Homo-oligomer: A and B are copies of this chain.
């Protein structure tokens, strides 16, 4: 079925920001443009493969801009497009919600992990 129709806008939005590192990428790029390696270090424990992959998708989706300086030790800068910035705007309240309830959510998530451990034990 090619009817990939979304029911509520939430579906559409999540189709774009779904992906383990995309929220972080959005987060870091919302402040300023960043070079690849820079962004990589900022996020911390991403593999190259993953970061590149997610950046490519975001680029294909018109969320981020890739600026290749064509220099010979490679230099590439990533930034949010205007479209990406509208997304970042729309994400702010959700980000705020998450920040506000972060402790609670962390407890919930560790509980999920814990119950899985119980099954093993």
Contacts and interface: CB of A to CB of B under 8 A. Distances in A.
Interface residues of A, number: 51
Q: Which of A2, A57, A102, A105 has the most CB of B within 10 A?
A: A105
B16 A105 contact: yes
Contact of A14 (B9, B23, B83, B113): B23
Contacts of A6: 98, 102, 105-106
Interface string A74-97: 000000000100110111111111
Main secondary structure of the interface of A (DSSP, over half): helix
A23 B10 contact: yes
Contacts of A91: 10, 93-94
Nearest to A7: B24
Interface of A: 2, 4-18, 23-24, 26-27, 43, 57, 60-62, 83, 86-87, 89-102, 104-106, 108-113
Given A11-B98, A94-B94, 18 more contacts: A4-B110, A6-B105, A6-B106, A7-B24, A8-B95, A9-B95, A9-B102, A10-B23, A13-B94, A13-B98, A13-B105, A14-B17, A15-B109, A60-B111, A60-B112, A90-B93, A91-B93, A93-B93
